């Protein structure tokens, strides 16, 4: 099941953006690379929480406790995001990872599944900040048809239940559709439970 439980109002969006800026000051955005090929992704990433999702040529997709460039532990997940999870996720254990993706100018992300977690019972909760993203979701196989949605600044979106393993991606970001970020572009935050049990 996919659903939009709520929209953050502009005040909440700018408070959340401040939290993200604080995280990035401590754990800078970096450019992840694909397993085996080492090709760079167009989004830049960082994380908050006890675990962060990373990828590189040598070791591939995984969660780890430290930033791959600085070697430091990830900053804490902002309390307001933990509160949002409690309101909306319907899952009795807190998220362990908050992946922060920044889509600059032409950044996009191809269709993929979030399947590097041990717990697929917990939903994945996403928050969009900044320019509108064209989001594509399909089914659990690559051949199933896809649908497009616009994810606007402040949109809270949940992939759970049957759709927890749905293929999804961002086709592109529409420049100039939000004035939240001075530099333009889009932040997407995804909260995930990684390990089983609490």
Partner DNA sequence: GAGTACCA
Partner DNA sequence: GCAG
Print the binding letters for residues 128-147 with DNA: x by CB under 7 A, - otherwise. Answer: --------------x-----
CB of 124 to DNA, least distance (A): 9
DSSP 40: B
Instruction: List, in sequence order, every residue forming a beta bridge with 123; answer none if it has no partner.
Output: none
| Residues 168, 136 contacting (CB under 8 angstroms) | yes
Print the binding letters for residues 27-66 with DNA: x by CB under 7 A, - otherwise. Answer: -------xx-x-xxxxx---------x-------x-----
How far CA 123 is from CA of 66, 101, 105, 157, in Å, comes to 23, 18, 29, 10
- Residues numbered 86-115 forming contacts with DNA, rule: CB under 7 A: 99, 108-114
Classify 109 as helix, strand or coil.
strand
Could you give the count of Cα atoms lying within 13 Å of 180 in the half-sphere of its Cβ? 26
Q: Can you point out the beta strands (E) in the chain?
A: 2-7, 44-48, 52-54, 62-64, 97-103, 109-112, 124-130, 133-137, 147-151, 155-159, 168-173, 186-192
Is 85 annotated to bind ligand? Answer: no
Does residue number 166 form part of the binding site for DNA (CB under 7 A)? no
Of 86 and 195, the one with the shorter C-beta distance to DNA is 195
| Residues 56, 89 contacting (CB under 8 angstroms) | no
CB of 34 to DNA, least distance (A): 4
Binding site for DNA (CB under 7 A): 34-35, 37, 39-43, 53, 61, 99, 108-114, 116, 142, 148, 169, 171
Binding residues: 53, 61-63, 101-103, 112, 114, 116, 142, 168, 186-192
Binding residues for Fe cation: 112, 114, 168
Binding residues for 2-oxoglutarate: 101-103, 186-192
């Amino acid at each position: 099941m996919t659903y939009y439980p709520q929209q953050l109002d502009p005040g909440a969006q700018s408070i959340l953006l401040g939290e993200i800026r604080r995280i990035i000051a401590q754990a800078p955005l970096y450019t992840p690379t694909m397993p085996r090929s080492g090709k760079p992704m167009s989004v830049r990433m960082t994380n908050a929480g006890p675990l962060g999702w990373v990828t590189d040529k040598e070791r591939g997709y995984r969660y780890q406790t430290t930033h791959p460039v600085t070697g430091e532990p990830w900053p804490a997940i902002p309390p307001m995001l933990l509160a949002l999870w409690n309101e909306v996720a319907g899952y009795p254990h807190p998220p362990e990872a908050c992946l922060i993706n920044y889509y600059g100018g032409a950044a996009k992300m191809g269709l993929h599944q979030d399947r590097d977690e041990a717990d697929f019972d917990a939903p994945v909760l996403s928050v969009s900040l900044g320019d509108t993203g064209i989001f594509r979701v399909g089914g659990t196989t690559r051949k199933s048809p896809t649908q497009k949605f616009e994810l606007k600044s402040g949109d809270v979106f949940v992939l759970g239940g049957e759709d927890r393993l749905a293929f999804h991606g961002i086709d592109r970001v529409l420049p100039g559709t939000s004035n939240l970020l001075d530099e333009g572009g889009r932040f997407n935050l995804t909260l995930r439970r990684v390990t089983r049990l609490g």
